[in-house]
A and B are shown apart, each in its own frame.
Chain A
Amino acid sequence: MTPEKLTYMANQIATAFARRPEDEAVAAIAEHIDAFWGPGMRAELLALAEAGAPELSPRVARAAHLIRRPQAA
């Protein structure tokens, strides 16, 4: 998946939880991504977050710390 598409999808999730308080929203984003994204997509997202990709919403960037680390396939 292209980084643009991955970023777009992660930010869409952040938008859906936008009205929640900061900590709650961050946890909800991480929980949603853990539940529905396979390890490959999570790894790509974590790499983006680690590289400080500027397009990633700040809450997704924070959620990255909570997202389950994918094990090597």
Chain B
Amino acid sequence: MKDFILPDPDFGTPAWASDRTVTLSIDGFEVTVPEGTSVMRAAAELGIEIPKLCATDSVEPIGSCRLCMVEIEGRRGTPASCTTPVAPGMKVHTQTPKVAQLRRGVMELYISDHPLDCLTCAANGDCQLQDMAGAVGLREVRYAPGANHFQTRQNGEDNPRYTPKDQSNPYFTYDPSKCIACYRCVRACEEVQGTFALTVEGRGFEARISAGGSDFLSSDCVSCGACVQACPTATLQEKSVIETGTPDRAVITTCAYCGVGCSFRAEMKGDQLVRMVPWKAGKANRGHSCVKGRFAYGYATHPDRILNPMIRNTIDEPWREVSWEEAFGFAARKFRAIQQEHGIGAIGGITSSRCTNEETFLVQKLIRQVFGNNNVDTCARVCHSPTGYGLKTTFGTSAGTQDFDSVEQADVVLVIGANPTDGHPVFASRLKKRLRQGAKLIVADPRRIDLVRGPHVRAAHHLPLRPGTNVALLTAMAHVIVTEGLTADAFIRERCEIDAYQDWAGFVAEDRHSPEATEALTGVPAGDVRKAARLYATGGNAAIYYGLGVTEHSQGSTTVMAIANLAMATGNVGRPGVGVNPLRGQNNVQGSCDMGSFPHELPGYRHVHDDAARGLYERLWNVTISDEPGLRIPNMLDAAVGGTFKGIYIQGEDILQSDPDTRHVASGLAAMDCVVVHDLFLNETANYAHVFLPGSTFLEKDGTFTNAERRINRVRRVMAPLTGMADWEVTQALANAMGADWAYAHPSEIMAEIAATTPSFAGVSYDLLDREGSVQWPCNAAAPLGTPIMHEGGFVRGKGLFVVTDYVPTDERTGPRYPLLLTTGRILSQYNVGAQTRRTPNTIWHAADMLEIHPHDAETRGITDGCWVRLASRSGETTLKATLSDRVSPGVVYTTFHHPETQANVVTSDYSDWATNCPEYKVTAVQVSPSNGPSEWQQTYAERARAARRILPAAE
């Protein structure tokens, strides 16, 4: 890692884990390290830095550059310290006249084929080659000019070895003329990212790094940036550094994209962000990142950002820019007037899974204390609410059971309804690393996701189930495990409710649940289900990772319970390497749930029926809290259409684009008197808003995010809010305009209130987070440094509860008019509704949503690759372009939902999970037919959106 400007120590080779230690002497100093550690790393731990070029501690050493050679007493020659493991009693000399001379000779050779344009080079001051030349005392290069890779012309002719810079990737360049062929990029691509996009062409002097023979953009490269980070020279260089120069300070913060919650060093120059570099000490990502976190932050300074508050009386008026005071006064008057006329419960709010814990806590506090009701909900309603219900019922808490490190000890991994390489890329890289070490993989997904077949990764079983049949498949797996006697009986006896288990075991053992009996429903060959079930039950540590392909179904909660049943029946809960792991979609969806964003739950998942919990807040906030659950998002919209719900405050959420049945959402919003949207951009929901409060990005505020492993990570302000106010300040000012007297001066004070009132957060403070880097809740007196693994001694609910999971087919059925099943998902380069990633160069990879359709289904409909198609369901229709793919089975079509023009949710149905009303996004019966272009709805929608976004020129 090029970190000479802002050092983040590089130990040269990865840490080695061993129970045994070895003591040796290096330059006369004694050091004790785990057996297997390299001499280079042992020296680094003493603070002795051995010169190196090809070694870095993110990848295994190859001993190619020979710069790190040392002398070892009693050994011949000068071994490379990066590939030499320590031995007891070894005496190492890192600097002798002999190695000094040899190193200078090595450097001289390197420099003989390297341009000497250091002063104008983008890596100037941040180049390991430059630093090593200094470190070894290189003073002259004696080689006469000859064959080389850096001169464009030689002897009056084009230099055949020269290759021009590859600038095809939007974020970094590849300049072969500066390459020293150290293979660090190739190894990073293989070992860290697991994509194997890079290779080396040619041998010896002809060796050049190649993206598989094409340019970077058209190669397999996923632009994760691991190679750029590994490169010791300017060969792979961030364009932002080329444009801006080297950064001068670094602030540790947390990515605001997916639920992996990667830690980053935001490297700054003044208040300008130069680059984001994943932080090696980050416990979720361990120094890795994806294209979104590392590169796609340009939305923060995109011209579309709204920086001034705006108001209007009706949504057909243009927006009027006003002062913050005027906007708060306007919203407060409208909200209070609505409550006067229609009752206290006629307004509510939606918290954001994009914002910090502190901001979310304040929004629910605003609603419970200042609005005086429980009408608060959050976008988890439409993603992981079934996880909350299902895991709470079976295990006693909605918490995912593991940390991400746990995957390093898994022997069998079952991925169901998730596409980690696209949705949770850094976790996927960690998973693939484990799979390359020999762990087995089972994928249950209607689509052949990348994990099924990738470089050096093969799923042992892909179960391509028909959308909507998760419960049937999982119950069939349970049938195999129970009837073939593969259950973990001791675990069950000790840890679970035995009556419920026996009831469940009897249920799943019924013949109608056998793989053979359910094959007709799921479409998965019975033999494959049996093999997969046996592997899961008997293959060692078995872990389940799942996503929205599990939850967003009418039986979402049932599926989560079926997953929990499988884990309990095989004893795969309560230790590293196993567990039930929900992959959360958004950066802080875990946190927004923790912070009391649901209408029936106070912070810490305490039901509003809980008198003690309510009493705590009632005393602190000096208010009466209703013991009745408030309205959920769909209920708010229904009530709005019915005329009893009139005002809403929506922070960082685009419900018009992300929630089901777009027309229903639109009519609900249109029926309200005061819609306040608090966001970075005029999103789709803002077309129906009366007040727009400009939001701030994660770079502009302090706070915390909680990722999918319950890890509370600090978000640190690296630049001042462009609008003048961080989001928590905006909520506070709105509350105060409505009569509250909040006086938080810093988010740490909000965290103090959270900790003081929420048992699972009792030990959390900014001091602790600064000290530890991060902690996983529960963090309290019993677990002062947090809880990496849940249910270690026993289940949170006491005994684990098996729940019978009867398969109930969704009422969303295919038929003659709608014969295909539509399912939806994400793509790597884009993120959710795309509000951020569409405003970055990431669009180069995914400029529009496409409909994946199997060639057979396409042929019978006269659809060709790239043609416009009409996608129609019982709810509505839209148009998009088709792409032919056998990743989907015949009968299934697939699309992403990143672009508002696509309006995929015009098509999705109104069905929802029985327990939580999480919408059934993943199954819609559709028909696909050729089309000429955008549908009427898309056209009128686009016109209306344009009109709704007009802003009056500022008054003179």
CA distance A20 to B343 in the complex (A): 40
Contacts of A18 in B (CB 8 A): 806
CB distance from B810 to the nearest CB of A (A): 10
Cβ contact within 8 Å between B630 and A16: no
| Interface flag for B635 (CB, 8 Å) | yes
Contacts of B632 in A (CB 8 A): 38
CA distance A19 to B808 in the complex (A): 12
Known A12-B554, A35-B609: A73·B344 in contact at CB below 8 Å: yes
Number of A-B residue pairs, CB cutoff 8 Å, is: 57
Cβ contact within 8 Å between B635 and A19: no
Closest residue of chain B to A20 (Cβ to Cβ) is B804
Which of B554, B558, B639, B916 contacts A36 (CB under 8 A)?
B916
Contacts of A36 in B (CB 8 A): 600, 629, 915-916
Contacts of B609 in A (CB 8 A): 34-35
Which of A12, A38, A71, A73 contacts B635 (CB under 8 A)?
A38
Contacts of B343 in A (CB 8 A): 73
Cβ contact within 8 Å between B628 and A70: yes
How would residues 360 to 377 of chain B score, 1 for a CB under 8 Å from any chain A CB and 0 otherwise? 000000000000001000
| Interface flag for A32 (CB, 8 Å) | yes
| Interface flag for B638 (CB, 8 Å) | yes
| Interface flag for B941 (CB, 8 Å) | no
Cβ contact within 8 Å between A38 and B916: no
Closest residue of chain A to B385 (Cβ to Cβ) is A36
How would residues 533 to 572 of chain B score, 1 for a CB under 8 Å from any chain A CB and 0 otherwise? 0000000000000000000001001100000000000000
Contacts of B866 in A (CB 8 A): none
Cβ contact within 8 Å between B630 and A38: yes
CA distance A39 to B599 in the complex (A): 12
Cβ contact within 8 Å between B916 and A73: no
Cβ contact within 8 Å between A37 and B629: yes
Which of A26-46 touch B at CB < 8 Å?
32, 34-41
CB distance from B787 to the nearest CB of A (A): 26
Cβ contact within 8 Å between B914 and A35: no
Contacts of A70 in B (CB 8 A): 628
Which of A1-39 touch B at CB < 8 Å?
1, 5, 9, 12-13, 15-16, 18-19, 32, 34-39
Contacts of B914 in A (CB 8 A): 9, 12-13, 15-16
CA distance A16 to B914 in the complex (A): 7
CA distance A19 to B507 in the complex (A): 10
Cβ contact within 8 Å between B558 and A1: no
CA distance A12 to B918 in the complex (A): 13
Closest residue of chain A to B557 (Cβ to Cβ) is A16
Cβ contact within 8 Å between A38 and B631: yes
CA distance A49 to B808 in the complex (A): 24
Contacts of A39 in B (CB 8 A): 628-629
| Interface flag for B396 (CB, 8 Å) | no
Contacts of A41 in B (CB 8 A): 635
Contacts of B599 in A (CB 8 A): 38
How would residues 797 to 833 of chain B score, 1 for a CB under 8 Å from any chain A CB and 0 otherwise? 0000000101010000000000000000000000000
| Interface flag for B345 (CB, 8 Å) | yes
Which of B594-631 touch A at CB < 8 Å?
599-600, 607, 609, 628-631
Which of B732-760 touch A at CB < 8 Å?
none
Interface size on A, residues (CB 8 A): 21
Cβ contact within 8 Å between A1 and B638: yes
CA distance A13 to B557 in the complex (A): 11
CA distance A12 to B555 in the complex (A): 10
CA distance A41 to B634 in the complex (A): 12
Contacts of B344 in A (CB 8 A): 73
CB distance from B275 to the nearest CB of A (A): 46
Residue of A12, A19, A38 most packed against chain B (CB within 10 A)? A38
Which of B442-482 touch A at CB < 8 Å?
none
Cβ contact within 8 Å between B635 and A40: yes
Contacts of A5 in B (CB 8 A): 638, 910
Contacts of B629 in A (CB 8 A): 35-39
CB distance from A24 to the nearest CB of B (A): 11
CB distance from B509 to the nearest CB of A (A): 14
| Interface flag for B285 (CB, 8 Å) | no
Contacts of B554 in A (CB 8 A): 12
CB distance from B639 to the nearest CB of A (A): 7
CA distance A52 to B511 in the complex (A): 38
Cβ contact within 8 Å between B642 and A1: yes
Closest residue of chain A to B345 (Cβ to Cβ) is A73
Contacts of B804 in A (CB 8 A): 19
Cβ contact within 8 Å between B607 and A35: yes
Cβ contact within 8 Å between A16 and B808: yes
Closest residue of chain B to A13 (Cβ to Cβ) is B914
| Interface flag for B651 (CB, 8 Å) | no
CB distance from A42 to the nearest CB of B (A): 9
| Interface flag for B398 (CB, 8 Å) | no
Contacts of B806 in A (CB 8 A): 16, 18-19
| Interface flag for B397 (CB, 8 Å) | no
Known A19-B507, A73-B343, A73-B344: A9·B917 in contact at CB below 8 Å: yes
CA distance A15 to B609 in the complex (A): 25
| Interface flag for B644 (CB, 8 Å) | yes
Contacts of B642 in A (CB 8 A): 1
CA distance A17 to B104 in the complex (A): 77
CA distance A12 to B910 in the complex (A): 14
Cβ contact within 8 Å between A15 and B808: yes
CA distance A38 to B634 in the complex (A): 12
Closest residue of chain A to B634 (Cβ to Cβ) is A1
Contacts of B910 in A (CB 8 A): 5
Residue of A36, A39, A71 most packed against chain B (CB within 10 A)? A36
Closest residue of chain A to B631 (Cβ to Cβ) is A38
CA distance A2 to B63 in the complex (A): 71
CB distance from B382 to the nearest CB of A (A): 15
Contacts of A37 in B (CB 8 A): 629
CA distance A54 to B343 in the complex (A): 33
Cβ contact within 8 Å between B628 and A38: yes
CA distance A1 to B558 in the complex (A): 25
Contacts of B558 in A (CB 8 A): 16
Closest residue of chain B to A33 (Cβ to Cβ) is B629
CB distance from A34 to the nearest CB of B (A): 8
Cβ contact within 8 Å between B600 and A35: yes
Contacts of A15 in B (CB 8 A): 808, 914
Cβ contact within 8 Å between A13 and B639: no
Contacts of B600 in A (CB 8 A): 35-36
Closest residue of chain B to A70 (Cβ to Cβ) is B628
Cβ contact within 8 Å between B631 and A40: yes
Contacts of B808 in A (CB 8 A): 15-16
CB distance from A14 to the nearest CB of B (A): 9
- Pairs of residues from A and B, 10 with the lowest C-beta to C-beta distance, nearest first: A12-B914, A1-B638, A39-B628, A16-B914, A38-B629, A73-B345, A19-B804, A38-B631, A15-B808, A13-B914
13 intermolecular pairs with C-beta atoms under 8 Å apart:
A1-B635, A1-B642, A5-B910, A15-B808, A16-B558, A16-B914, A34-B609, A36-B600, A38-B628, A38-B629, A38-B630, A39-B629, A40-B635
**Chain A contact residues, CB within 8 Å of chain B:** 1, 5, 9, 12-13, 15-16, 18-19, 32, 34-41, 70-71, 73
**Chain B contact residues, CB within 8 Å of chain A:** 343-345, 374, 507, 554, 557-558, 599-600, 607, 609, 628-632, 635, 638-639, 642, 644, 804, 806, 808, 910, 912, 914-917
Task: Using A16-B806, A40-B639 as known contacts, list a sample of 7 further A-B pairs with CB atoms less than 8 Å apart, ordered by residue number in A.
Answer: A9-B912, A9-B914, A18-B806, A19-B806, A38-B374, A40-B631, A73-B344
